[in-house]
Structure 1
Amino acid sequence: MTDDTSSSISRRALLGAFAATALTAAPTYSNAAGFLRRSGDIRRIKMYSGRTGERLDTIYWVEGEYIKDAVAEINHFMRDWRTNDIKNMDLRTIDIMAAAHNLLDVNEPYLLLSGYRSPKTNAMLRSNSSGVARNSLHLQGQAADLRLASRSVGQMARAAAACRAGGVGSYSRSNFVHMDCGPIRNWGR
């Protein structure tokens, strides 16, 4: 039998080094939420359209992957209801909408007023209102106009702005919030 204290690397030293390595590599309590979030991370969007009567409640992203069929369903739902034209919505806008909804801590679905707008629809809206941009991000599938009955325009706008990911327009008179994935900016009241 050999003497543990006399060898250059004792069994006790080896076990001690292993224990220190295991403790260093173990997640701390402060990191636990991050690990749990990654193990079950989902993104969900809930909306309805007063124009078409359609409802949407779908999980569109799971653990780092967009779900193709759910994204196609979102694109169809957010189509230009006047022309039935469909555009692939920019997923960054959908993510902003979902994140703001989560921050508002509501179960109520968004009322979608406008998602994608065809050039024909945008031109018609511009001819009736000075508040419609010629190069609106709605034309690119990068914007949505939304309403919640249980939250004010101010509450919705603050939640969207907290995402620091795009433009947020407050339209208190018309009771809706514009969210887009363009440059970070805010307007309206």
Structure 2
Amino acid sequence: MSQELLLVDDDETFCMVLARAMTRRGFTVRTAQNVSSALILAEQLIPAYVVLDLKMAGETGLSLIAQLRQLNPAVRIVMLTGYASIATAVDAIKLGATHYLAKPAEVDEIVAALRQDEVVLPVVQDIPTPSLDRLEWEHIQRVLNEHDGNISATARALNMHRRTLQRKLFKHPVKV
């Protein structure tokens, strides 16, 4: 199988560092900083592997998954995000991502996820009860996703002031 890897992330420094690390591990890496340039590269390369950031300026990485699958049904896609939530993980896997990892992820963890033949959901033996703050954060992420990232519509659905919602969204995910 080809070792062609498309790395899509709007953080240029992160792209450069990860591309260098993946090249050392035998991948031929091309990078893109947004969905539209990633799609153009993907059509030219038909990559076997894709590492895709969830939150980017403009469209989210989720919007690219189906298009990548159309180009190459066997593509292995790892969704990376600094704002991991159950709702986005489920969406990414349903759309066709092979794996979903929270940033920061180790390079070897990303390589292992890319090389898995099928989606493997982690087996958790002792699931801790999430905190109330974490449950609230997960619920906000799910409702935001249902409203296609529209903050005003999400605030109305949650019966919350838009600015309050924005403050909550700019916080990093709360611990479990």
TM-score range, shorter chain: under 0.3
TM-score (norm 2): 0.26
Which of the two has greater strand per residue? 1
Q: Which has the larger radius of gyration?
A: 1
